[in-house]
Structure 1
Amino acid sequence: MTETSETIAERLQHAFDSLTRAERQLTDSLLQNYPVSGLSSITRVAQNAEVSTPTVVRMVQKLGFSGFPAFQAALRDELEAKISDPISKRNTWADNAPEAHILNRFTDAVIGNIRQTLTQIDLETFERCCALLADPARRVYVVGGRITRSLAEHFFLHMQVLRADVTHIQSISNAWPHYLLDVKAGDVVVIFDVRRYENSTLKLAEMARERGAQIVLFTDQWRSPVHELADCTFSGRIVVPSAWDSSVTLMLLLETVIADVQERTWDVTRDRMEALEEMFDRTRFFRKFT
Structure 2
Amino acid sequence: MSEIPGGHASMRKLLMSTLDDLSNGERKVARALMAQYPTAGLTTVVDLAEVSGVSPPTVVRFVTRLGFTGFPAFQRALVHELNSELGSPLKQYPEKGGPSALGILHETHNAFAEMLMTSYSDLPESEFKKAVKLLCDPARDIRVTGGRFSRSVSDYLVAHLRLLRPGVHGVGADDEIDRRSTVADAGASTVLVIYDYRRYTDQSLVFAERMAARGAVVCLMTDNWLSPIAKVAKVVLPVRVDSASPFDSLVASMAVTESIVAGVAERLGSAGISRLELVEGAVE
Q: Aligned partners of 2:156, 2:200: CA distance in 1, in Å?
A: 20
Change (3 A) 1:180 1:22: closer
CA contact (8 A) 2:239 2:252 kept: yes
Change (3 A) 1:60 1:241: farther
Q: Aligned partners of 1:25, 1:274: CA distance in 2, in Å?
A: 51
Q: Aligned partners of 2:128, 2:227: CA distance in 1, in Å?
A: 18
Matched residue, 1:184: 187
Q: Aligned partners of 1:129, 1:61: CA distance in 2, in Å?
A: 27
Identity across matched positions, percent:
27
CA contact (8 A) 1:11 1:63 kept: no
Q: Give per-residue Cα distances to partners, 1:220-244, cap 9 Å, x unaligned.
A: 1111111111111111111112132
Matched residue, 1:107: 109
2:211 to 208, 212, 227: 208
2:202 to 194, 199, 202: 199
Partner SS for 2:9: helix
**Greater RCO (Cα-Cα under 8 Å, separation 6 or more):** 2
TM-score (norm. length: structure 2): 0.69
**Between Structure 1 and Structure 2, whose CA radius of gyration is higher?**
1
Matched residue, 1:136: 138
Letter matched to residue 183 of structure 1: A
Matched residue, 2:246: 243
Change (3 A) 1:148 1:11: closer
TM-score (norm. length: structure 1): 0.68
Q: Give per-residue Cα distances to partners, 1:162-204, cap 9 Å, x unaligned.
A: 1111111111152211122211113100000112111111011
**Equivalenced residues, count:** 218
Structure with greater helix percent: 2
Change (3 A) 1:227 1:11: closer
2:164 to 162, 175, 193: 162
Matched residue, 1:33: none
Q: Aligned partners of 1:274, 1:149: CA distance in 2, in Å?
A: 27
Change (3 A) 1:106 1:221: same
Q: How far off is 1:275 after superposition?
A: 2.0
Matched residue, 1:7: 7
Q: How far off is 1:123 after superposition?
A: 1.3
Q: Aligned partners of 2:117, 2:40: CA distance in 1, in Å?
A: 18
Change (3 A) 1:184 1:254: same
Q: How far off is 1:261 after superposition?
A: 0.8
Which portions of structure 1, spanning 4 or more consecutive aligned residues, are displaced by more than 4 angstroms?
Answer: 23-26, 59-63, 65-68
1:267 to 267, 270, 282: 270
Q: How far off is 1:113 after superposition?
A: 0.8
CA contact (8 A) 1:219 1:236 kept: yes
Q: Aligned partners of 1:61, 1:179: CA distance in 2, in Å?
A: 41
Q: Aligned partners of 2:272, 2:192: CA distance in 1, in Å?
A: 21
Q: Is 1:64 equivalent to 2:68 in the alignment?
A: yes
Q: Is 1:230 equivalent to 2:246 in the alignment?
A: no
The root-mean-square deviation of aligned C-alpha atoms, in Å, is 2.9
Matched residue, 1:48: none
Letter matched to residue 221 of structure 1: N
Q: Give per-residue Cα distances to partners, 1:112-159, cap 9 Å, x unaligned.
A: 111111111111111111101100001100011111110110000001
Q: What are structure 2's unaligned runs of at least 5 residues?
A: 17-29, 43-62, 78-99
Letter matched to residue 13 of structure 1: K
Q: Is 1:256 equivalent to 2:259 in the alignment?
A: yes
Change (3 A) 1:62 1:277: closer
